[in-house]
Amino acid sequence: MHNLTIDPDRLWRSIMETAAIGGTPKGGINRLALTDHDRQVRDWLKSACEDLGCTVTVDEVGNMFAVRPGRLDVPPIAVGSHLDTQPTGGKFDGILGVLAGLELLRTLDEAGYETNAPLMLVNWTNEEGSRFSPAMLGSGVHAGVFDRAYADSRTDRQGVTFGEALDEIGYRGPAKVGSTAFGAMFELHIEQGPILEAEEKAIGVVTGVQGMRWYEIALTGREAHTGSTPMSLRRDALVGAARIIGAVEAIARAHPPGVGTVGLVEVGPNSRNVIPGHVFLTVDFRHPDDAALDVMEKALFATVEEAGRASGLEHALRQVWNSPAVAFDPALVDAVRRAADGLGLSWREIVSGAGHDAAYVARIAPTTMVFVPCAGGLSHNEAEATSYEECRAGAQVLLAAVLDHDRRCYGTA
């Protein structure tokens, strides 16, 4: 039995050092996918891995893979997450998973420890989906959920395509998408919810991910003067949008533990004395039960019809993303549970409320996740906070679970 321990100071330093790339005055990070800040942090990771003698390859959609060879020529055990953030993101979402993976590589390297299977650190492209919808695009292409042409054609709100942005920062690699097969994948991540903190658990043993669906709605009414257009003759697209925003909230509350959010709204022409002629808005529905999502979706479609009728609007509604509920690999889930027990850390089983690259990878390889708490359950927020001790515990559980799995599959190293 090994007694390798990660270096929590080194892990914390790498988190704080990279947090400066796109860092915001409020202590968060604004590092949207495929921006120059994304390029800088990718360059940082590449050189850190190469310093350890790892080979770094990049695939056609920018996913980065750093391999540390093992004793056997078998598919590698993968760890990692993503380094892109929300426009007002925090220092830990995704980043902890990648940098804890780097810390594993450094710990093994320092100890001269040889695993049976190769170890592979992964940085997935455009996980957040904030600049390019849908989310988890890089891992989705890797898992065959999307094809490469679809990814390349995604556009941001300024009309720049994913492919253009990827070429612009020089991270379109030669590796064919999906050519890097995993024997298993472990993703460490902050919970992004309030449960672990509320129950004072150090570790979340993640058994699956809830189902998620995204929608885009475009409403078209008629621009007109706010002063001289009687209420009865108006076709106000924003009034219709307000009905939909209220209904999304009501639909979610009617289907616990489901959640529903309108996060993005664009009004045209957006002038205080012009009746809005155009509104674009997005809807995000999530529920652990796919059948409940079907019901919520039906209610949304009915709401949009009704809002359009009531305000005399044309409307276009489409589902732009559908990620079914996921159950993680029981053997890997056990490995995480054993690791937490072995380290004497408190834990509970949990279903992820957020989407993660692991949800797609689970379609093509045994996969699971490890959660650590974040203050107030706050994420996608510059105030997002996970402590030094919580990061240390998560990284140590990740290391123990990986080595446990490596031994059980391939014999004691």
**Interacting residue ranges for a second copy, rule: CB under 8 A:** 86-88, 128-130, 133, 135, 191-194, 210, 212, 214, 222-231, 233, 236, 238-239, 241-243, 245-246, 249, 252-253, 256-257, 259-277, 282, 284, 286, 352-355, 377-381
To a second copy, the closest distance from the beta carbon of 52 in angstroms equals: 32
To a second copy, the closest distance from the beta carbon of 365 in angstroms equals: 23
* 380 annotated to bind ligand: yes
Please identify, using beta-carbon distances, which residue of 76 and 258 lies nearer to a second copy: 258
Judge whether 135 and 321 are in contact, CB under 8 Å. yes
To a second copy, the closest distance from the beta carbon of 379 in angstroms equals: 4
Please identify, using beta-carbon distances, which residue of 161 and 381 lies nearer to a second copy: 381
- Could you give the CA distance from residue 293 to residue 291 in angstroms, rounded to a whole number? 5
Residue with tokens 């050189």: 47
- Could you give the CA distance from residue 20 to residue 30 in angstroms, rounded to a whole number? 10
Of the candidates 351, 347, 325, 328, which has an alpha carbon nearest to the alpha carbon of residue 338?
A: 347
Residue 365 dihedral angles phi and psi, to the nearest 5° = -155, 155
- Could you give the CA distance from residue 327 to residue 334 in angstroms, rounded to a whole number? 13
Judge whether 353 and 286 are in contact, CB under 8 Å. yes
To a second copy, the closest distance from the beta carbon of 250 in angstroms equals: 10
Please identify, using beta-carbon distances, which residue of 52 and 267 lies nearer to a second copy: 267
- Could you give the CA distance from residue 80 to residue 66 in angstroms, rounded to a whole number? 10
Contacts of 356 by beta carbon, 8 Å cutoff, 6+ apart = 81, 127, 136, 187, 189, 209, 369
Please identify, using beta-carbon distances, which residue of 179 and 270 lies nearer to a second copy: 270
Report the half-sphere exposure of 145 (CA within 13 A, side-chain side): 22
Please identify, using beta-carbon distances, which residue of 236 and 406 lies nearer to a second copy: 236
Please identify, using beta-carbon distances, which residue of 264 and 364 lies nearer to a second copy: 264
- Could you give the CA distance from residue 107 to residue 26 in angstroms, rounded to a whole number? 32
- Could you give the CA distance from residue 200 to residue 375 in angstroms, rounded to a whole number? 11
Neighbours of 287 (CB within 10 A): 24
Residue 230 exposed, middle or buried by CB count within 10 Å (0-12, 13-18, 19+): exposed
- Paired with 346 in beta bridges are none
* 37 annotated to bind ligand: no
* 390 annotated to bind ligand: no
Coil vs helix vs strand at 176: coil
Contacts of 230 by beta carbon, 8 Å cutoff, 6+ apart = none
Please identify, using beta-carbon distances, which residue of 5 and 24 lies nearer to a second copy: 24
Residue 231 exposed, middle or buried by CB count within 10 Å (0-12, 13-18, 19+): exposed
Please identify, using beta-carbon distances, which residue of 276 and 366 lies nearer to a second copy: 276
Both structure tokens of 385: 């906070």
* 82 annotated to bind ligand: yes
* Binding site feature residues for Zn(2+): 82, 93, 128, 189, 380
Q: Which residues are annotated as a binding site?
A: 82, 93, 128, 189, 380
